[in-house]
A and B are shown apart, each in its own frame.
Chain A
């Protein structure tokens, strides 16, 4: 009988140890991002895709650009704000073989380096990657020059979809967010160029 008791106690300790492990894991594995793909067009900007994925976000806040991204909390306060570059504009340079050739070319305006404003003709996607935070409710993008609101994205549908797949993710537990706006998941606003 004593052997059974000893064995039972050992197993019990192992069980408790196993139980404690089930709640840990690698916290790095549970980092998440909002991946929001915006379609930027000549006269408008709209939401093409939005989801929460496991992963890390890139650096935010060190781009010079024409747009400002505001991350808003559930109570409407601004959590974070940063500028982003207009993805339709690219900067091109030629690596010339020597300074002499370069100076000759400089006198020909046709061959000057170009600032390519592709927006006149091109539609382009802008994948916006924002770190997940429980308190994020919406993300707004404004044009710096005019302050005009270009798009407001409610992230609730992405949170609900993620919670349905991963209901026991620590960030999804005990976080009973409000129901998503059934009419408008995002608001598209005309963007006059």
Chain B
């Protein structure tokens, strides 16, 4: 039986808990003491509740489901068409309100209590657009395609501005989809097509970068220049790819070759490459460098090192033979990286050895090249170990 006394006690407990939880806007003791006396001043004793409203920057309408963090702590989700949540228990002073939602760039706003009556956060569309199904960033290789605002005019022999991508994002998306299909079909480019994991296509996350105010410049420097804020917008990027439309004008030989250029050897820190959109072999060769850390196997003024573990280039012949034997490959394929002229004289020779037979994707023969045993083993290793490190 519930007595009046029980009711009073229950009601007091409820009120106490409600106040402590900040559901009722009544004064509570603030934690920050008055700086002069060491005692809380009357004003500091209050906490406040203020509304936070998240609106779409394009439509101005409220957004439901935006997660709101106050000073780094989760405070709830905006609900309904108003995109509104009331954040309670705010003491006086400055606070950081951070809003995070799918499809939007996160945004933060500073509010001052008690001067500000509310926080209005405009949510801008995300610059990073996923392509197809994506998995956890930590589980896959994250590849971000970036459109170039420049291309190359073969008649003028100079770079020119182009609006092929900037005026029509569909053109960019179509080219991106074409290149993604090549990467998903990586297994078909290996000599032994059962060597890569069966779920290789699912080892990647693909995205494209969309910022109407900032595009890449494929012809600024060797590997091109990414948009100014690219690494802040997409810090998780394992490999960025600047793609540019095919060359225009009349082909008269170099420098009008469709060329690619890699910024690094391997994914991760500041890894990107440029590639013409219509040249899959160049794309795959550069992906070999930047995505999988594969060495060039042609003889030229390029970079060589034994890219352990499971290298495709060795610094000694004996190391190459040892690798071949341990993998049950024919060791007679181990050969020095060199190039002969048509009269048989050696015009280029390096103190490095290679295994994969020609036509080799990492050699000159891009158009007919395949990934041989050594390169395939290295790719397999990269796919199995991407993001598998721990601090």
Taking CB atoms, residues of chain B closer than 8 Å to A98 are: 367
Partner of A94, one of B17, B259, B270, B387: B259
Q: When the two chains form the complex, which single residue of A8, A90, A136 contacts B223, counting CB atoms closer than 8 Å?
A: A90
Residue numbers in A under 8 Å from B232 (CB-CB): 35, 53
Q: Determine, out of B33-41, B169-177, B275-283, the stretch whose residues face the partner at the interface.
A: B275-283
Residues B336-376 near A (CB distance < 8 A): 339, 341-342, 347-348, 364-368
> At the interface, is chain B mostly helix, strand, loop or mixed?
loop
Residue from B70, B270, B387, B391 in contact with A59 in the complex, judged by beta carbons closer than 8 Å: B387
Interface residues of A (CB under 8 A from B): 1-2, 4-5, 8-9, 11-12, 15-16, 18-19, 21-26, 29-30, 33, 35, 53-65, 71, 79-80, 82, 84-85, 87, 89-96, 98-99, 102-103, 105-107, 109, 111-116, 118, 126-129, 131, 133, 135-136, 165-170, 172
Q: How many A-B residue pairs have CB under 8 A?
A: 251
Which residues from chain A contact B307 at a C-beta distance below 8 Å?
64
Question: Which single member of A56, A84, A90, A91 contacts B296 (CB below 8 Å)?
Answer: A91
The answer to whether A170 and B21 touch (CB under 8 A), given A59-B267, A59-B268, A128-B269, is no
Query: What residues of B have a CB within 8 angstroms of the CB of A2 in the complex?
Result: 2
CB distance from B95 to the nearest CB of A (A): 9
**In the complex with contacts A5-B10, A58-B238, A59-B387, A94-B231 CB distance below 8 A:** no
B222/A58 in contact, CB under 8 A: no
If A8-B10, A112-B300, A127-B231 touch, whether A58 touches B72 (CB-CB below 8 Å) is: no
Tell me whether B254 and A166 are in contact (CB under 8 A). no
- Write the chain B residue with the least CB distance to A102: B364
Which B residues touch A53, using CB under 8 A?
232, 235
**Sample of 19 more A-B contacts, CB < 8 Å, known A113-B302, A166-B72:** A4-B7, A26-B100, A58-B236, A62-B267, A63-B268, A84-B269, A92-B261, A93-B296, A94-B258, A96-B257, A102-B364, A106-B347, A111-B254, A112-B301, A112-B348, A127-B231, A165-B71, A168-B72, A168-B73
7 A-B pairs with least C-beta separation: A25-B74, A169-B72, A166-B72, A63-B266, A95-B282, A168-B73, A56-B236
Residues of B bordering A, CB below 8 Å:
2, 4, 7, 10-11, 13-14, 17-18, 21, 23, 67, 69-76, 96, 98, 100, 106, 108, 137-138, 141-142, 221-223, 231-232, 235-238, 254, 257-271, 276, 279, 281-282, 285-286, 289, 293, 295-296, 298, 300-303, 305, 307, 339, 341-342, 347-348, 364-368, 382, 385-387, 389-391
Given contacts A60-B269, A113-B300, A166-B96, contact A18 B21 (CB under 8 A): yes
In the complex, the answer to whether A62 meets B268 with C-beta atoms within 8 Å is yes
